[in-house]
Structure 1
Amino acid sequence: MPISRDDFVNYISQKICNNEFSVFFGAGLSTPLGIPTWKSLLEPLAQRLHLDIEKQHDYFALSQYYENMYGKPDLRKYIGNSLFSFKTENDVLEKILKLNLRTIWTTNFDTSIERILQKNFIRHQVINSDRCLANITSSDATIVYKLNGDCNDLEHIVITTEDWETYEETHPTMMTFLKKELVSNTFLFYGYSFQDNLIKSTLSSIKRFVGDLCNTHFSIQERKDDPEFEYKIFDLEQRYHVKTLLVNSYSDVSGIFDDIFERVQANNVFISGRLGDIAPEIENDACNLCRQLSVGLLDAGYNICTGMGRKIGYFVAGPSIQHLLENGYQHIERRLLIRPFDDTMSEKKRTAYREKLIGDNRVAIFIYGHSSYNGRSKGVWEEYQIAKKLGKVILPIGATGFESRLIWQDVKAHLTSYPYLETSIEDLLTECNAQKITTLVLKLLKLTTF
């Protein structure tokens, strides 16, 4: 039975938040970039063999026939010359990449995924054979596993029946890595038709060992009025634990990933603030508030991001790290993102950096915002403007004064744009107790939850 859109979004979002999600891309991902489908790629070869491409359903066999007749070099040169595209616009892929995935799996030979990763300044590492696996680093680079090889190494691409029949002998370690991730993570198959047996045979072998305890995976398919297609979808779920989300058109997928991104961001909170040289009692109050607020947010299940504004960044990061360690968290980065600014950044780069930081969070909290120069913090004000432009949930703690009070005044002047603050806006100005401010913030966050 196909899964509903809402259930799909909720389930995938939860898996992403738990770092238990992987994507698998088939040829359908590259088609919008001008890369041919399997059928159109091999049609000239079928013509040369005097075969009707419409009657060919095993493309590995078709490639094998061509190689038998004209040789391996001729086949692979043709493949290499046919998989070239200058396009780097793929809306769905770019939205998926915003989810900061650790791994991407694909059967595609072309370099579309790598080029879009590069365009978006995402560090990545390509693994296209067993011998490359030894080069995997423990850095934060996204790893792209190319199961059928790479068009930059045509000799080793998997394109014929013989290549497929010897796959487990030529790629044993790659298969081990794939099986491990299929056991530990939930996969989303996109642009993948399941016409080859690579994934189905792998899932079947896993099921033989773990039975019905194996993971549930997902596929996105365009709806078809075809009984055979319905049987195929049913078979994927019954025998391989792959549920399918049916869409009327692949153009709907972009909006689905917008929804997923919003859900993944739901618990992400950006804390903006700064303190220059100031009276010790104000600094002590700020330290206490940051401690109470940070611990309160973490205990409530929220994740914190800080740009390490002067003093405020340390007041947020220090207690957060200590609290997480005391509660057994080994991967601090999953709950606390510390993103300090480079002092040599140009204004343009600072703005872009702020947009990236705030863009990855659903909520922006503003506290203090003081500069020793004139009492105001231009950076905190800019972060407020960015949060407004991006439609974030904005919580100005006006009671802390300085730039945050000016932000509070601006929010109050446009209160109809912030309905979740209508009954609490005055409390954000008058409440000075750190614990009560934290309780108020958590209450307001619940009001804005999906």
Structure 2
Amino acid sequence: MEPTIFNKLVNRLQSGELAFYIGAGFSVPCKLVDWNGLIEPLISPLNLKLKKDKDGNYIGNEDLIQFAQFVANQPEGRKKINEAIREGFSKGVISDNQKELAKLDVSEIWTTNYDPMIENALRENKKEPCVIVNNKDLLEKEKKGAIPIYKVHGDYCDPENCVITSSDYEDFFENKKNFIYALKTALIRKTFIFAGFSFKDPDVKYILAELRHSLTKDNMPEHFWIICTQDKKDREVEYELFKEDLKKNYNITSIEINDFKEIPQLLRDLSKYAKRNRIFISGSYCREIDESDDDYKKRTNDIDSFISDLTSSLVGKENQIVSGYGLGVGSAVITACLRTAYEKYSASSSSKYLIMHPFPRNIANMAEKERLWKSYREEMCDESGIQIVLFGRKINEKKEVVNADGVKKEFDIAHQKGLFIIPIGSTGGMTNVIWNEICKEMEEFGYNSDFLKTKLKKLGELDYVKNKAELVDCVLEIVNDVQSYKG
């Protein structure tokens, strides 16, 4: 995908302005019945047949909606269609398409599919779906935090009201007036990605045409369509003309992929880069000597000053901070984050820029404590796209100052989950160990350009006291570089 388009989609996702319109192709890997498989046994008694190639694959069946109407016209025909829908879409497996879609922080999802795979995937991902099927559902207040799924053509649980026959399509605009208004509004306010969708459904094309008539060409919002280049085999001229039509008349830009199996990776990449404005600051430092010691006070002041300047600079660039309130680090991080958000943005924006996961303390059972802390670390990494590691010292049971194993655990989880890790090696402790490890395997950790490799080395050389400003700038330059997709 072109970097310009990809970064535009990432920005929309980060701002809550990205929505999806999902078609039947998205559910193909779910092992559900497809339109051909649904209609064929119903039309057999009518002496109708679907076109197939010599290998038995369905080809060019453009009359499925009309065939469904022929079935519905027969005695108890609609009942047979309803039974086929209920049976055909009640089973199946959640595919990687739905799993990766569920991980994205999308504002809303629209679909013409009857099946429940998207909402099931959201529940598996500990998210609550708000399924909207009819006009009545639109009037109900959405639960806070729930992700709305608009099922444009109905749900398999209520097959009588599923849009499948030609008369259903004809009645669609009368029966779903509020639905259509909501979709028009969303198409103006949001940026849509159409996936698994062919634009052969007459209702969506009609709605897009109405938008074109009501808006000027310059005001038509931009949307995107994922299309597989395999589809243009033997139809290259038609394929290019159709792409041109979508762009010229509806401002829909095509995103070409070689195979529909690439969709999960595309969604993973979107999620990875969209999370890179959420930065998990991991680290700890301890009270190595008596608090009354003047050297101790100066050292802690220097540490707090560095953490504060770094955090303020990150928030000043509109990054969100994720914190587990690490020992000796958390207070400086949180104070700087809240202060900067308040001063630069607004009093109400502080919650937007700080995501807190304070570790539960005073847990007597060590096994339970480890289980809980591991869960907290995983949640912080799941929410983040970048991890900054600093210091990493603690006092053990023998009152000895040692490297903090908790910081190493957070680093291991972050690496396993694909975060971009920025270790400020010059701060010492476990972070220096991590910095050395990454320096030995730069490519594995994403330091794959001369620019990033040079900056990584500086993270271990610049003193956080004497070269504080330069070190903060070095971190910011790395963050800025890895937040932008380059293809």
Under a length normalisation based on structure 1, what TM-score does the superposition of the two structures give? 0.88
Contact 1:188/1:217 (8 A) holds in 2: yes
- 1:296 aligns with 313
Q: Is the counterpart of residue 354 in structure 1 residue 377 in structure 2?
A: yes
- 1:166 aligns with 171
Q: Which letter maps to 2:83?
A: K
Q: Is the counterpart of residue 322 in structure 1 residue 349 in structure 2?
A: no
Q: Which letter maps to 2:386?
A: V
Q: Which letter maps to 2:414?
A: A
Instruction: Give the CA deviation at 1:219.
Output: 0.9
Contact 2:17/2:189 (8 A) holds in 1: yes
Tell me the alpha carbon deviations over residues 255-280 of structure 1, each in whole angstroms, 9 at most, x when there is no partner: 33343334323433210123556737
Q: What are structure 2's unaligned runs of at least 5 residues?
A: 52-59, 448-452
Counterpart Cα distance in 2 of 1:422 and 1:151: 54
More moved, 152-161 vs 38-47:
152-161
Q: Which of residues 271, 290, 295 in structure 2 aligns to 1:261?
A: 271
SS at the partner of 1:69? Answer: coil
Change (3 A) 1:429 1:291: closer
- 1:77 aligns with 83
Contact 1:26/1:108 (8 A) holds in 2: yes
- 1:238 aligns with 248
- 1:9 aligns with 6
Report how many aligned residue pairs link the two structures: 446
Q: Which of residues 458, 462, 471 in structure 2 aligns to 1:424?
A: 458
Contact 2:391/2:428 (8 A) holds in 1: yes
Contact 1:109/1:148 (8 A) holds in 2: yes
Counterpart Cα distance in 2 of 1:46 and 1:70: 13
Counterpart Cα distance in 1 of 2:215 and 2:435: 56
Contact 2:275/2:384 (8 A) holds in 1: yes
Alignment map for 1:177-192 (pairs within 5 Å): 177-192=182-197
Counterpart Cα distance in 2 of 1:416 and 1:234: 40
More moved, 175-184 vs 280-289:
280-289
Contact 2:193/2:223 (8 A) holds in 1: yes
- 2:450 aligns with none
Cα RMSD (Å) of the superposition?
2.9
Q: Which of residues 291, 312, 324 in structure 2 aligns to 1:307?
A: 324
Change (3 A) 1:440 1:228: closer
Deviating above 6 A after TM superposition, structure 1's stretches of 4 or more consecutive aligned residues are 413-417
Q: Is the counterpart of residue 109 in structure 1 residue 109 in structure 2?
A: no
Change (3 A) 1:270 1:41: same
Contact 2:97/2:264 (8 A) holds in 1: yes
Alignment map for 1:47-446 (pairs within 5 Å): 47-54=44-51, 57-71=62-76, 72-88=78-94, 90-137=95-142, 139-212=144-217, 213-223=219-229, 224=232, 225-226=234-235, 227-275=237-285, 279=291, 281=297, 282-310=299-327, 312-328=329-345, 332=350, 334-343=352-361, 347-348=370-371, 350-374=373-397, 375=401, 376-390=403-417, 392-408=419-435, 410-411=437-438, 419-421=453-455, 423-429=457-463, 431=465, 434-446=468-480
Counterpart Cα distance in 2 of 1:388 and 1:249: 28
SS at the partner of 2:74? Answer: helix
More moved, 167-176 vs 5-14:
5-14
Instruction: Give the CA deviation at 1:125.
Output: 1.7
Q: Which letter maps to 2:387?
A: A
Instruction: Give the CA deviation at 1:349.
Output: 5.1
Change (3 A) 1:432 1:176: farther
SS at the partner of 1:53? Answer: coil
Q: Which of residues 39, 52, 56 in structure 2 aligns to 1:42?
A: 39
Q: Which of residues 29, 33, 37 in structure 1 aligns to 2:30?
A: 33
* Percent identity of equivalent pairs: 26
Counterpart Cα distance in 2 of 1:387 and 1:47: 56
Tell me the alpha carbon deviations over residues 284-309 of structure 1, each in whole angstroms, 9 at most, x when there is no partner: 44433332111101223433222232
Under a length normalisation based on structure 2, what TM-score does the superposition of the two structures give? 0.81
SS at the partner of 2:164? Answer: coil
More moved, 248-257 vs 430-439:
430-439
Counterpart Cα distance in 1 of 2:329 and 2:282: 8
Change (3 A) 1:322 1:97: same
Instruction: Give the CA deviation at 1:160.
Output: 2.2
Instruction: Give the CA deviation at 1:138.
Output: 5.1
Change (3 A) 1:176 1:385: same
Tell me the alpha carbon deviations over residues 323-369 of structure 1, each in whole angstroms, 9 at most, x when there is no partner: 22333355555543323345566534533542343254343212233
Q: Which letter maps to 1:294?
A: T
Change (3 A) 1:84 1:13: same
Instruction: Give the CA deviation at 1:26.
Output: 0.6
Q: Which letter maps to 1:29?
A: F
Counterpart Cα distance in 1 of 2:412 and 2:189: 41
Contact 1:56/1:62 (8 A) holds in 2: no
